[in-house]
């Protein structure tokens, strides 16, 4: 009996021992399974990041009605080069605003400049010509009777040597003078000249303060092969001054009343012009002057003077072709600048007493070109024809039947575009910040 007791006791102990070994092995296997996650296909972090960034930009970027600032990709901004230059406060960033009679005399552009300089900083009124058929709202000019003004529109030069605004001034004889009286509503830091002296002899320039007859400066304009910048004086309290030239006439490309930092807007309005005169400026002259000025943005505000003459599909195609050439010219010679295309506005046909029927087609081509070339676009026609308005622009006295804005309209258009650019600047900064650190913008 003791033998059987011993036999069954040992069998029981062996059974328990084997059972414990089995349980231990199961627990170890289960523990290992918990520590080893199930393998999943790799995730492309770049795609995930892009999707998240696009979504975040959509949350933070506020679109301005009728203003297109991201023409192709949500993560890109059409005005990147312009806004990047503005962040360098040690230099002046220039906006070159080209247009027709809508802006001649600095009518719309003066309001844009004022509002932008209030926020971004900057002084002065930028470009002033030595002569013009339209009075400038910022200055009164008087001059001697021996001046000649060539323009790329109706008095072309065969050599293409124009100022960046499309004009070149010269005088006949051995001397000439011009007086400028500046309005009191703006300040400036310096007055300078862009010129080229093609003659072998130098020209002497004397600047007088007309309020007291004192000489502000006496300078020599030596012979030069390319456009040259010459600072005339930096006495910002001077509001009335005279420039007296003695010697062979240089090619005078423009006068600038400017600040020394932040923003400046140069208004190049030419009555009756469609913009194509820009194509005739000598390439190296356009590039050199844009560099001398520190150009950050080029605005093209054209189209109105072609509306009455575009009646066929072929003419629409030619309009698109010529404006593409204009954009190509700017991109090739001012690559450091962004481009903004401003659409046509509403225009009435005096023969029919109704608006022209091709306005939307022309506007659509301008918008198409902006998107194709990654330019910003402002739809002025869409803003005027906005169906949500209870009264029309004509009823409010903002625009005439022929499409020209009234003084009240100049102010509204200028303020609206300035506000759109200011909002675009905030959007650009949001986009750049989100691209650098998207995690910071994800809500918990």
**pLDDT single digits (tens) 168-177:** 999 999 999 9
Domain 127-260, classified CATH 1.20.58.340, yes or no:
no
Calculate mean pLDDT across residues 270-289: 94
Provide φ and ψ at 73, rounded to 5°. -120, 140
> What integer pLDDT is reported at residue 65 of this predicted model?
85
- Outline which parts of the chain fall under CATH 2.60.120.260: 127-260
Q: Can you name the CATH fold of 45-122+261-444? A: Rossmann fold (3.40.50)
How far is it, in rounded angstroms, from Cα 247 to Cα 345?
Answer: 46
The SS3 assignment for 231 reads strand
Q: How far is the CA of 162 from the CAs of 82, 157, 170, 314, in angstroms?
A: 24, 8, 11, 31
Report residue 321's pLDDT band, with 50, 70 and 90 as the boundaries.
very high
Lowest mean pLDDT: which of 21-30, 286-295, 305-314? Answer: 21-30
The model's pTM is 0.86
Residue 366, CB half-sphere, CA atoms under 13 Å: how many? 30
How far is it, in rounded angstroms, from Cα 154 to Cα 168?
Answer: 12
- Outline which parts of the chain fall under CATH 3.40.50.1110: 45-122+261-444
71 within 8 A of 378, measured Cβ to Cβ: no
How far is it, in rounded angstroms, from Cα 177 to Cα 207?
Answer: 10
**pLDDT single digits (tens) 79-96:** 999 999 998 877 899 999
């Amino acid at each position: 009996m003791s033998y059987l007791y011993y036999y069954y006791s040992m069998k029981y102990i062996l059974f328990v021992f084997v059972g414990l070994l089995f349980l231990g092995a199961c627990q170890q296997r289960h523990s290992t399974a918990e520590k080893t996650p199930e393998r999943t296909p790799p995730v492309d972090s770049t795609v995930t990041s892009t999707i998240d960034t696009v979504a975040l930009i959509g949350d933070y970027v506020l679109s301005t009605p009728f203003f297109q600032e991201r023409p192709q990709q949500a993560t890109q901004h059409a005005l990147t080069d312009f806004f990047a230059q503005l962040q360098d406060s040690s230099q002046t960033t220039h906006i070159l605003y080209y247009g027709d009679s809508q802006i001649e005399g600095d009518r719309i552009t003066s309001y844009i400049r004022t509002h932008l300089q209030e926020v971004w900083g900057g002084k002065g009124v930028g470009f002033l010509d030595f002569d013009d058929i339209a009075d400038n709202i910022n200055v009164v000019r008087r001059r001697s009777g021996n001046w000649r003004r060539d323009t790329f529109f109706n008095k072309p030069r065969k050599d293409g040597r124009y100022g960046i605004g499309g004009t070149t001034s010269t005088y006949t004889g051995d001397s000439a003078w011009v007086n400028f009286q500046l309005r009191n509503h703006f300040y400036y830091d310096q007055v300078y000249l862009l010129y080229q002296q093609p003659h072998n002899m130098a020209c002497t320039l004397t600047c007088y303060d007309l309020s007291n007859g004192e000489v502000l400066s006496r300078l020599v304009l030596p012979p030069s092969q390319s456009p040259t910048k010459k600072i005339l004086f930096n006495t910002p309290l001077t509001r009335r001054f005279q420039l007296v030239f003695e010697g062979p006439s240089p090619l005078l490309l423009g006068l600038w009343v400017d600040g020394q930092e932040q923003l400046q807007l140069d208004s190049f309005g030419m009555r009756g012009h469609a913009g194509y005169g820009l194509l005739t400026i000598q390439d190296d002259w356009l590039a050199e002057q844009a560099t001398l000025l520190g150009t950050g943005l080029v605005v093209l505000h054209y189209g109105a003077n072609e509306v009455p003459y575009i009646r066929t599909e072929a003419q629409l195609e030619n309009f698109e072709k010529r404006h593409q050439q204009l954009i190509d010219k700017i991109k090739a010679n001012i690559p450091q600048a962004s481009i903004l295309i401003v659409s046509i506005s509403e225009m009435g046909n005096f023969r029919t007493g109704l608006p022209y029927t091709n306005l939307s087609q022309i506007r659509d081509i301008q918008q198409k070109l902006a998107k194709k070339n990654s330019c910003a676009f402002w739809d002025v026609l869409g803003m005027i024809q906005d169906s949500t308005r209870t009264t029309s622009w004509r009823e409010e006295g903002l625009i005439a039947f022929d499409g020209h804005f009234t003084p009240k309209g100049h102010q509204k258009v200028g303020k609206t575009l300035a506000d759109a650019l200011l909002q675009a600047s905030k959007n650009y900064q949001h986009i750049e910040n989100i691209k650098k650190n998207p995690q910071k913008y994800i809500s918990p």
